[in-house]
Structure 1
């Protein structure tokens, strides 16, 4: 498990040491030198254990000796947060971009570009420091505003382009973007494989000046990878998303009219589809879609009685999926005795059985239904939910069609 993100203030606080020197809490002259293999193993154990003092322990390790420093810093700097403009300037002034420290950073979180105020002297220094993140894989933007009218907006394509050869994951939280800005960001990161747009993001109206963001970039030819969107996000960003040629292999979205448009647009390449909630489901128009590559279909229901979304919305959306192998149902509420006993006689689940049977017969190989359930502590010891729900009386047509049932 990777360490939690390290706040910048934690990395920069305390007395500074001259370059090449270190501070040791023990007398190294009286201590035999440990093999580097053993040192690395000790640091790995410190970094992967669950402890409130983990980051402090890693800092202590990094100050023990030179042989302890490099490995410890790799964990300390694996994920960092720069929460404000002042911290950004502090990073630029404290960190020498030539010492290789920034190359340890794999995840960088930047916050609130509305407070950016640069002088000509700091611009060059900041660019050198950002260029030093030469192995950055994940960029989190929080409270970023990327559209016309934002001060220093012309720097966004220039600076983010420095990560273009390594970045694979982009998370947008509480951001506002224009469609041109959204396209520009995708264009800057050709290796991008995962994009997440949180529900508190907003799309802004395109203006004439906003086109300057694309002046030196061009149009996105495609976006391959994974897309995660919230319920409100789909309504805001639908124009942005549909103007980008989508070749997604994974999509997490809300079941809604907007969500189904995205699903339809990327159906030819989609391998995994997950509907995260059923809010607004009654307004969604369902048209069967052909999924040539889909192998995993997953969705959420509130409880065992909430079968209507499955029968009338989720399953009918899949017109045909010849490569389907897994259907996963996440049940939100705890499973009780009454739930288990009523399922066998539920007319709603009989309809689910028919839909599952249809999908199983249309697939080239066996289809497994995975039920992710949480058993109630009040469940009677006389009730074996797994035996009942996996038996021939529960979903008999699906089982006759070669379907399998698994519990998690």
Structure 2
């Protein structure tokens, strides 16, 4: 029996006295707006912002390039204002998340039609067929989507077409839409350099694009089982190992956390921030209540061979913004029946660590990613 998908939602509006409806689509799991009004090139940015601030979605019927200009204007209006108040790091992070949530909500409310064949039915609209097929599949019914999300699919498709170079693999990978892009090298390099004691079987839990599983295989692990609960990630990981020519050494499974059996080495790079995810894309970064981290540590012993080793890859970002303490992490590890036998650390080298305009610049500059080596007590 095939599992039921999410319920189909339709948007209804009136245009020139005619009632119209279309299927709501969101590759990021955004809920359908409650109220929709058609707008065109005559609307001003201030009027668009006022309506969006009231939760009213704006279905664009005019020129596509003008819609992009309105979206840019909305982006300007949702930028955080300069704040000279002395705030704690925790307060800065809270304000940052508030602004991100407000910004995402406002920008999501400018809508465009996506017609059968993945065509945006507006003047001067670009060809978005390949990008939107990646995100939504082939469109066989008149639909409405967020313009901001569509532009995101275009950017993701460009990354997918170009590929992301992974130095540890001496190769590029081509992530699918909706998977976490490994543009940060710290955690990959840690897995590529940690001491490896010739494991026969390794598990990569929450594999995403499959990059860590691929690193393990290229380091000589004869069998790697990679898991993820997101179908798009599983498809992306399978393509990664196929492109690299290592499918015979890596099996990718759709499952929550652990596969059946045991392994000599179990690797996990869970989402690093124990806070609520605002979209499906956020789920790669945000782990509400540390669900995945705690679930992984609580169950890992049952899947670990005697004298096996666990590699937990985790940033201290959550500690720096006051969402978790180092003592909290050590308690979870200890409660799981594990002990720390060593740790490798990598300082932040990604671009956001040098962006002084970021309100969390000091945090990102201080961030350290660790590979914790764990064994049973």
TM over 0.5: no
Q: TM-score, normalised by structure 1?
A: 0.27
Q: TM-score, normalised by structure 2?
A: 0.29
